[in-house]
Amino acid sequence: MIANIQYKSKKYQIDLSKPLDISMTLSASENNVNTWYLDDPKIEPVKKEDWIGSVKAGASINFNNIQFNPHAHGTHTECMGHITKEFHSINKNLKQFFFTAELISVAAEKYMKDTVISKKQIELLLKDSTPEALVIRTMPNTKDKKKRHYSNTNWTYLTEEAMVFIREKGIKHLLIDLPSVDREKDGGKLLAHKAFWDFDGNQRLDCTITELIYVANKIEDGSYMLNLQIAPFKNDASPSKPILYKIL
């Protein structure tokens, strides 16, 4: 189904029958992606006295409780409320759901004992492109990302300089296949988060960071329309389902 979209004075053509899902599936399994030193998520039937919410157990319906953390157990989108004393809800601050997006693939650079994504790399790959959303796929890109346990692995992160560049480029939504844009153990500095949201300046409450995506290798670098779907949680972050549509 070809759709013609009028978006901010420009016309785009996308095929709605070919969505490219870049979210991870959340499952109650040790093979679920995991980070921040938490146990695996749980999906279990409700138990009340002698009633169990499972058709297999004799109930007429399946009626499960789900226990998980959006930051640790899968693809999630967060707003500035993630790092502020004041409460800010992703459901309130994310008011639009379609954006122009650019997908880039980046091999991290060595920096002392770490690996980082630098301003120079992003600047080189984006060139003159000015998308509303930037999707970063880190290389190498293997399927084990979908079940990796990241705790105590010192994952790749973005430098503060890189994030300032992204902000000054006018990018409002950043999506990446890592647990965090910051170093795993940084003493609470959160330099990349703060730089992106301009924490000490003109705070960008309508901007989001989406972490723990997975972009399959068959999806080519380039320009897309992004549909950023979230669950309506009154929380700083929500599980999310970002979908890319290739611009024809």
pTM greater than 0.95 (yes/no): yes
CB-based contact 66:43 (threshold 8 Å): yes
Residue-wise pLDDT for 151-173, tens only, equals: 999 999 999 999 999 999 999 99
CB-based contact 13:248 (threshold 8 Å): yes
Cβ neighbours, 10 Å, residue 167: 18
**Burial call 143-158: b when 16+ CB within 10 Å, e when fewer:** eebbebebeeeebbbb
Is residue 3 pLDDT above 90, yes or no?
no
Backbone phi, psi, residue 147, to 5° = -135, 10
Alpha-carbon span 42 to 214, nearest angstrom: 22
CB-based contact 156:178 (threshold 8 Å): yes
Predicted local distance difference test score (pLDDT) of residue 76: 98
Alpha-carbon span 96 to 78, nearest angstrom: 14
What is the separation, in whole angstroms, between the first and last Cα of the chain?
Answer: 12
Predicted local distance difference test score (pLDDT) of residue 8: 81
Residue-wise pLDDT for 49-98, tens only, equals: 999 999 999 999 999 999 999 999 999 999 999 999 999 999 999 999 99
Alpha-carbon span 246 to 236, nearest angstrom: 30
Can you identify the CATH homologous superfamily of domain 2-27+70-246? Answer: Putative cyclase (3.50.30.50)
Backbone phi, psi, residue 62, to 5° = -100, 130
For 101, half-sphere exposure in the C-beta direction (CA atoms, 13 angstrom radius) is 29
Question: What's the average model confidence in pLDDT over 226-236?
Answer: 98
Residue-wise pLDDT for 30-57, tens only, equals: 999 999 999 999 999 999 999 999 999 9
Residue-wise pLDDT for 177-215, tens only, equals: 999 999 999 999 999 999 999 999 999 999 999 999 999
CB proximity list for 127: less than 8 A, separation 6 or greater: none
